[in-house]
Every structure is written in structure tokens, then in C-alpha cells.
Structure 1
Amino acid sequence: MNILKQNIGTDWVAYNGDCVEVVKGLPDNSIHYSIFSPPFASLYTYSDSERDMGNCKDTEQFIENLRFLVIELFRVIKPGRLVSFHCMNLPTSKSKDGFIGIEDFRGKLIKLFQECGFIYHSEVCIWKDPVVAMQRTKALGLLHKQIKKDSCMSRQGIPDYLVTMRKPGDNEERVTHTNESFPVAIWQKYASPIWMDINPSDTLQKESARDEKDEKHICPLQLQVIERGINLWTNPGDIVLDPFGGIGSTGYVAIKKGRKAILSELKDSYYKQLVNNLIAAENSKKQISIFDMID
């Protein structure tokens, strides 16, 4: 089993190792909720490890590698409970794909989860600023000058998605909310098919104190997105799993929201930051508890 390190806190366990092998070691029907951002096929390369799913020649190879994890996720998720994954459709390039367009990565992930037994439960589109995307990627289709040259090559920006899948069966531990904890105005915001208010900079990378030599995570998931999934679909004390732990964003939010977290991360430099961030979340929670007791 490829587990390099293991760290344990009061409400969390973190593994430095292969996510498939980590999840294989978890008991059947033991996880209440899983939320994560998988590698976007080969769009970003995180490491040179042969176990890194982002090290693949194309999306088809990535999907087949990811299948091993999804099979295990189906086994460990409790019946009637949910898995949410964050993704986007992928821009193609003439040099790599032979054409300029968009690949339906989101659809391929949904199909994979369905093939492994999950039910397509819901999804929300997360708005992204096309101006920021143009400045960052220099995508041909987003350049204003392309409209004057040939607007048939112009396109809209590519949004993010939070797609949620459900394991069949009855949920024996219902997740219930009150009007006080989940008022109508909040529910209407959560229920919207498009989230226009997610701050792209609201990430753990911004929140956590990192050494100057620490490596940046390429695309950490926004804390607001994780928080909404955990708020809506879990109870306090539930176990939240993130097989692609990164720098610990999911665990950080889960601990602060009174849940338990299990995370795995293959890359050693990210794992180091992950553990530090989970300890910081745990310490922050302890401080809040002390002040609550004084009040």
C-alpha cells in the first residue's frame, strides 16, 4: 500500500499517498459525504509521479484511471448519501487536439459515475469572469479583436460546475434543517442553478499563511463552494472525504463546520501544507470553543 505518511488530529485523518489505495482501506458504507476537485485530465500537471492521474496522454486515459477511485467511492459512501465533484469543460488546442473548441469533460465525468452505480443528482453552474479568463489564458475565442477578425471563432467563457451524484438506497441518517439554521433566503441562493456570487479568490491559498518557499496549489477549490455543499448535505459530526486533498481546503472547512474529515494527497509538498492547514483549523475551532464557554 502506497501510504508515505499519516497524520491524525482530533477530527481528521490525512494520508500522503495514492487516493485509490487510501479509499480502498476505508470500510464499506462509512462516509457521509465526499466533495473534491479532481485533476482536470492533463490540463494541469501536478507531479511526475506515475500515480498522479493528471499524468495522462488524454482524457480517455484519465477517465479510465479515475474509474478505479469512483468504484471505491461507491463502496464507501453510505446509501442515499452524496458525492460532489468540481469541474469545468476543457478547452482544446490545435497543437494537441487538431482543432480549437471545447471538450465535454463534465459530461464524461457524469457518465463515469453513472456507469459505477451513482445517480445523477444535481448540478450548479458557477459563474467565472470571462475578462479574467481572457487575461489569464489568452484564449482566442475570448479576445475582443477576434470579433473584428472572425466572430465565428468567438465564444463565451467556460464556467465551473459543482456536480453531485447520489448513491442509491435509503439515507438512514437524514440531514434536516430548521428555518432558523437555513432560512428561505439562504435556501433560494443555494437552490439557484447558477451561483453568481462565488468569490474566485476565496481559497485556502489566500487564507492560510504559507512560507515563501511553499509551492502554490494550481487551482484550489473556493471555500464558499465547499461550505455550501457541507452545509446543505451533511449533519454535524458527519465524515467528509476528499481523495484529492491538495492543500486541505475540504478538511479545513469540514473541521470549522463541526464535521470530521478524511483526506489523501499524493504530492508531498501539498501534503505538508494540508497538514498545517488542518492543524490551524483545529486550533481555531478550539479557540472559538473556549470563548463560547466564557460567554
Structure 2
Amino acid sequence: MVNVLDQYVSDRVSLYNGDSVEVLKGLPDNCIHYAIFSPPFSSLYTYSNSDRDMGNSASDEQFNTHFKFLICELARVIMPGRLVSVHCMDIPKMKSRDGVIGLKDFPGEIIRDFEAAGFIYHSRVVVWKDPLVEATRTKALGLMHKQLCKDSSMCRNGLPDYVVTFRKPGDNPEPIPHDDGLKRFYGDDEPEGVKTLAPQPEPKPIYSHQVWRRYASPVWMDIRQSNTLNKAAARDEKDERHICPLQLDLIARCLELWTNPDDIVLDPFAGVGSVPVVALQMGRRALGFELKESYYKQMVLNVKKEENHDEN
């Protein structure tokens, strides 16, 4: 591996404290079954003072230049026919920084960058978020009720999350079958149904069909927003404003749909280890990179806790 500050390696997981682009350069071609990650949202948040931190960008253009190096490496290491999922959202424009109040089409930029690198735009799902929670957290003018009363021309909808997925061209050498259908549900309000695909004497909903209907929906209304790994322990005393782990339901759905047991799952911005932990829980192997030392140390603790849980 290149420029790794620290590492943790066990039978089913490899974690590296280092720059994602540089660590990726040490991987062989076509070795990763699936990648899922939430990148820094351009220059919206600063995670560290490191020049290697994509979030530490002076402009959207600078971030985009850096991000393209990552996409190029992903195009090399992902297996043919396999997928990369990116968690993202529209980015608010602020008057103090951008001169106007509005939105930036960050998902659109990501799609264009991946397509330019040769990936195929595969799918996009909207993940619902409560606009009241967003308004309370961000104090966004467009979500304030007092702005509605004053002049609703400046009011806007809340900002959902997106999971944008891309496919590497070529034939998938290891198909992902679900011969027995979907056997469990990740999310809120689990659907009912008979847990078999065999014909029933009476017409009853089949569980796998009901789960697939929810997973195939273009809008996921049932992701539990609070179902995340503990983030508080990863903060250091001079930490930035933002750390927000991916919801575990969201990760699990994507792994259920787009990986096989024992596949290698990559998160190049692994944070406190949400993707590696869920991958281990679901019988996959995990590869995680994290530049920030305090996040990396917490990721190792979270992964070791999961490994010890499996042993017991």
C-alpha cells in the first residue's frame, strides 16, 4: 500500500489510515466486487487541515479535480459488470460564500464525472428526510415557517439524500442470484407476507415480492435516519462541524441487492466504519480507507467490536 499511516488487517477486513486515491493505487485491477460511500460534499464541510482532504477544497472546481482521480482508480479496481454507489445530496448555496441563496446540483456533477470515466449510469433512489429536522439543524431560510408567512418565493422543499449507482462496463464474472428471494427486510415498517416462493393454496402476499417492491421504489421512505453507528466518540477537540455516518439500513439494502456473501466491499471514505461493520454483519469482506486519524481509530474499534461479537 502507498503512504499508509496505519492499518488494521484481519481475516475478513482491511482498514487503512491514508489518502483514498493513493491507497487505491496499491490495489490490483478488477479486484473489488462493490463500492459504496459518501464522499465529502465538495467544499461544504472541512474535515481536516490536510491537503489530501477532498473536503478541504477552496472551490467546487478544486474538489471536482481531486474527486476525478478517485473515480479513475475506481474504474480500474471495480470488477467488470459490478457497481459503485455514491451517497450524495444537492448542496445549498449560501450568500456569504456563493453570492446567492440557492442549490448546487452535486448529484448531477457526480453523474457526469462517472460517465466521463467510462461508467454507466445505473440507477438513482431518493432517500426521504424530514424537512423539520433539516430546518432545525441548518436554520435554512427556505424551510422556515416565518419565511412562508413573510414571502414564500424564497421557500423551498427539504433536501433528500440520493444513492446514485454506476456500473462498470463488461460482463459480470460472478452473478448475484437471489434464488430463494429476499429473506429479510432492512428499514422501518417491515412488510408482511408468506416467506416462501412456492405456490400457496390461498392467494397471499409473498414476503420477497413485498420487500422487493419497497427496495425497487424510486423513493425510500422507510430508512431509519437514526440507525447509525455512534459518531460522538470519533470527535477530537478541534473537530470540524460535520460528521454524519451513513444509515445502516441504506448500506444493508445496497449490499443485499448488489453483492454476494464473501464479496469484497469497498468504502474509500470509511469514516467511523459503517460500511465495513455492515459488510461483516452480512457475511461480506470489507476494505475501508480513512484519512482522518480520529475517525480511523474509531472505525478500528467499531470493526473489532463486530468481530468479537461474531466470535461470541
TM-score bracket for the superposition, by shorter chain length? over 0.9
Per-residue deviation at 1:9? Answer: 1.5
Structure 2 counterpart of 1:261, from 286, 301, 312: 286
Structure 1 counterpart of 2:225, from 183, 200, 220: 200
Is 2:215 the counterpart of 1:190? Answer: yes
The 3 A distance-change label for structure 1 pair 145 and 76 is same
The 3 A distance-change label for structure 1 pair 211 and 272 is closer
2 CA distance for matches of 1:113 and 1:278?
30
2 CA distance for matches of 1:154 and 1:210?
36
Match for residue 223 of structure 1? Answer: 248
Match for residue 251 of structure 1? Answer: 276
Match for residue 158 of structure 2? Answer: 157
Alignment RMSD (CA, Å): 1.6
Higher-helix-fraction structure: 1
Deviations 1:80-128 (A, max 9, x none): 0000010000000111111000000010011101001100000100001
CA contact (8 A) 1:53 1:65 kept: yes
Match for residue 107 of structure 1? Answer: 108
Q: Which amino acid aligns with 1:59?
A: D
Match for residue 83 of structure 1? Answer: 84
2 CA distance for matches of 1:221 and 1:158?
16
Gaps in structure 2 of 5+ consecutive residues: 184-207
TM-score in terms of structure 1 length: 0.93
Secondary structure of 2:260's counterpart equals coil
Using the TM superposition, name which of 28-37 and 177-186 deviates more. Answer: 177-186
- Matched pairs, number: 285
CA contact (8 A) 1:204 1:220 kept: yes
Per-residue deviation at 1:2? Answer: 1.9
2 CA distance for matches of 1:210 and 1:68?
31
Deviations 1:134-168 (A, max 9, x none): 00111000000111211110000010000100000
1 CA distance for matches of 2:147 and 2:50?
39
Per-residue deviation at 1:212? Answer: 8.9
Is 2:310 the counterpart of 1:285? Answer: yes
2 CA distance for matches of 1:163 and 1:180?
24
Match for residue 273 of structure 1? Answer: 298
CA contact (8 A) 1:118 1:166 kept: yes
Q: Which amino acid aligns with 1:84?
A: S
Q: Which amino acid aligns with 2:51?
A: E
Secondary structure of 2:50's counterpart equals coil
The 3 A distance-change label for structure 1 pair 213 and 154 is closer
Per-residue deviation at 1:178? Answer: 2.7
Deviations 1:204-256 (A, max 9, x none): 126xx948978797111111111011010000000000100100100000011
Match for residue 177 of structure 1? Answer: 178
Secondary structure of 2:28's counterpart equals coil
2 CA distance for matches of 1:114 and 1:145?
42
Match for residue 139 of structure 1? Answer: 140
Is 2:260 the counterpart of 1:235? Answer: yes
CA contact (8 A) 1:81 1:166 kept: yes
CA contact (8 A) 1:9 1:279 kept: no
TM-score in terms of structure 2 length: 0.88
Per-residue deviation at 1:286? Answer: 2.0
